């Protein structure tokens, strides 16, 4: 009996070790995957490559970018945003190709006064042209804990997710003449910078520099390349190409209660008709 117990413990232990190795494998190492691109010593990598921070002070912000380029796939990153009074700060986290006709898939986190909600700003650029903003508040305080922000980029659509809940789906509308990002590989970029001329309540609330430096944290980066058998991308978010019924309900919930701006509803901006992709 004693020996069978020991045998069982050994199997459990082996399982735990194996599982830990899998987890360690999954999270990308910041030293291997990213270059710290600007801000002198303000961007930092800690914990043997498991944690990265950006900071912003009166003199400069900071940023990093991926060493690799990606063409389709799923990119996950956990972020903990600037806490306390973050008014006027912007943490941009995005995919982008280069040049005047570049494509871009953007998350931007606009800071706020303590207790007031962050704004998550999203945009999609195709062939150098953006103007497709949607903005959201979040259903949690993004400065208290790490949360997962993901971009799924497939030939059929781009999906923005927070903690695996879809915020936004940008469909491929090439059949209607709307360009879609599909041929220019993109790098992952992030930067923390000051934009108190527009970011918080349209620039009314300025940055309180006595709170500087402002710091945002990153961990658990994961890039999953698109593959023909891309069911492993899905985590139940997908069946094949479409969102499943549960994810569609979550998307409607986010859009109903947390969306604060949608270019597709902004009549003032498009008096002579909405962009083609806005029509269903």
Ligand X SMILES: *[C@@H]1O[C@H](CO)[C@@H](O)[C@H](O)[C@H]1NC(C)=O
**Distance of closest approach, residue 58 Cβ to ligand X, in angstroms:** 20
Judged by CB under 6 A, does residue 133 bind ligand X?
no
Residue from 117, 179, 185, 275 binding ligand X (CB under 6 A) = 117
Q: Which residues pair with 109 in a beta bridge?
A: 91, 120
Task: Judge whether 162 and 147 are in contact, CB under 8 Å.
Answer: yes
Interface segment toward ligand X; rule CB under 6 A; list 31-39, 70-78, 194-202, 266-274: 194-202
- Interface with ligand X (CB under 6 A), residue total 9
Cα(79)–Cα(96) distance, integer angstroms: 19
Task: Judge whether 196 and 88 are in contact, CB under 8 Å.
Answer: yes
Least Cα distance to 56 among 92, 21, 94, 102 occurs for 92
Identify residues 96-115 at the interface with ligand X (CB under 6 A): 110, 112
Cα(108)–Cα(190) distance, integer angstroms: 9
Query: Going by C-beta distance under 8 Å and a sequence separation of 6 or more, which residues neighbour residue 146?
Result: 78, 79, 80, 217, 219, 220
Judged by CB under 6 A, does residue 138 bind ligand X?
no
Interface segment toward ligand X; rule CB under 6 A; list 48-56, 116-124, 158-166, 219-227: 116-124
Judged by CB under 6 A, does residue 134 bind ligand X?
no
**Distance of closest approach, residue 161 Cβ to ligand X, in angstroms:** 21
Judged by CB under 6 A, does residue 116 bind ligand X?
yes
Identify residues 200-219 at the interface with ligand X (CB under 6 A): 200-201
Token readout for 114 is 């303590």
Residue 104's CB is within 10 A of a number of other CB atoms, namely 19
Residue from 119, 123, 207, 247 binding ligand X (CB under 6 A) = 119
Cα(127)–Cα(104) distance, integer angstroms: 9
Give the residue numbers annotated as catalytic, written as ranges: 104, 108
- Chain residues binding ligand X by CB under 6 A are 110, 112, 116-117, 119, 199-201, 260
């Amino acid at each position: 009996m004693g020996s069978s117990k020991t045998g069982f413990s050994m199997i459990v232990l082996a399982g735990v070790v194996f599982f830990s190795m899998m987890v360690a494998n999954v999270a990308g190492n910041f030293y291997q995957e990213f270059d710290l691109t600007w801000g002198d010593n303000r961007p930092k990598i800690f914990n043997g490559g498991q944690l990265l921070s950006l900071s912003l002070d009166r003199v400069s912000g900071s940023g990093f970018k991926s060493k690799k380029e990606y063409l389709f796939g799923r990119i996950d990153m956990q972020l903990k945003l600037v806490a306390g009074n973050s008014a006027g700060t912007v943490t941009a986290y995005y995919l982008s190709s280069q040049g005047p006709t570049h494509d871009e898939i953007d998350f931007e986190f606009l800071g706020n006064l303590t207790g007031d909600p962050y704004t998550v700003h999203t945009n999609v650029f195709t062939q150098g042209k953006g103007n497709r903003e949607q903005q959201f508040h979040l259903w949690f305080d993004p400065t208290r804990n790490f949360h997962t922000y993901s971009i799924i980029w497939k030939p059929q659509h781009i999906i923005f997710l927070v903690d695996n809940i879809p915020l936004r789906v940008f469909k491929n509308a090439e059949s209607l003449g709307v360009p879609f990002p599909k041929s220019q590989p993109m790098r992952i970029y992030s930067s923390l910078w000051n934009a108190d001329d527009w970011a918080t309540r349209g620039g009314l609330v300025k940055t309180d520099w006595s709170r500087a430096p402002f710091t945002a944290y990153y961990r658990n980066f994961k890039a999953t390349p698109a593959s023909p058998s891309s069911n492993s991308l899905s985590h139940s978010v997908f069946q094949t190409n479409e969102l499943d019924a549960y994810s569609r309900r979550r998307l409607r919930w986010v859009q109903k209660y947390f969306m604060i701006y949608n270019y597709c509803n902004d009549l003032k901006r498009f008096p002579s008709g909405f962009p083609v992709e806005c029509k269903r």
